[in-house]
Amino acid sequence: MSGPTIAPLAVVLLSGGLDSTTVAAIAKAQGYRLLALTIDYNQRHRIELDHAARVAQRIGVERHIVLPLDLRGFGGSALTADIAVPKSGVAPGIPVTYVPARNTIFLSVALGWAEAAGAKDLFIGVNALDYSGYPDCRPAFIAAFEAMANVGTKDGGFTVHAPLRDMTKADIVREAGVLGVDLSLTWSCYDPTPAGRPCDECDSCRLRAKGFAEAGVTDPAL
């Protein structure tokens, strides 16, 4: 008689934001056991680390690693250098809040953990519709990284899942509602106020507000 079936293991990149939290819930609903990876890159909005910990606990991951990887020494972004976060609305082009190669770096670390843990699936919350225009959120990037992962590892066989890729922010809010995600635990703002509240003016705040408004849902985090 065969033993019980063991659910597959996946590594999910968890920032504590709306997108990554919804992706973690999607992976859980698909039957994966989860390892959650949060990168502490000394980002301006480090408050999101606390939210990631709360989300990981609520969703019920098997292990949550918060990995220190200080990118402020590199600079080049309003999130990792003394550069003002834009507050004038989402504009065309790549904004100064883009962190150079961030998703490449984060997925590489997640891949290393997945290979060590015997997981073949990586989940990331990128989307290419309602987003800030970051190049490492595009479908071509995800496909290229997956191809690299299967060339540069011992046994290959990895899949990079980006289930939000073709969803609007409103779609994401609705999907989170279907899955019963507690979005009050999530954080999106790039430039928190001294009182630890969202600024309501940065690109990330505006995109979040747009998503909730179009979904006809009140943001429980406000």
User: Domains of the chain by range and CATH?
Assistant: 9-215 (3.40.50.620)
Task: Report d(CA 9, CA 27) in Å as an integer.
Answer: 10
Phi, psi of 12, deg, nearest 5: -115, 135
Per-residue pLDDT band at 88 (split at 50, 70, 90): confident
How confident is the model at residue 35, as a pLDDT? 98
The pLDDT assigned to 128 comes to 81
Q: What is the mean pLDDT of the chain?
A: 94
Tell me the pairing of strands 9-13 and 159-161. Answer: unpaired
Q: What is the pLDDT of residue 185?
A: 97
How sure is the predictor about 222, in pLDDT bands with cuts at 50, 70 and 90? confident
Q: Among 45-54, 127-136, 192-201, which is the least confidently predicted range?
A: 127-136
Whether 153 shows a pLDDT value over 60: the answer reads yes
| Strand ranges in the chain using DSSP code E only, listed in sequence order | 9-13, 33-40, 63-68, 121-123, 159-161
Q: Indicate whether 54 pLDDT > 60.
A: yes
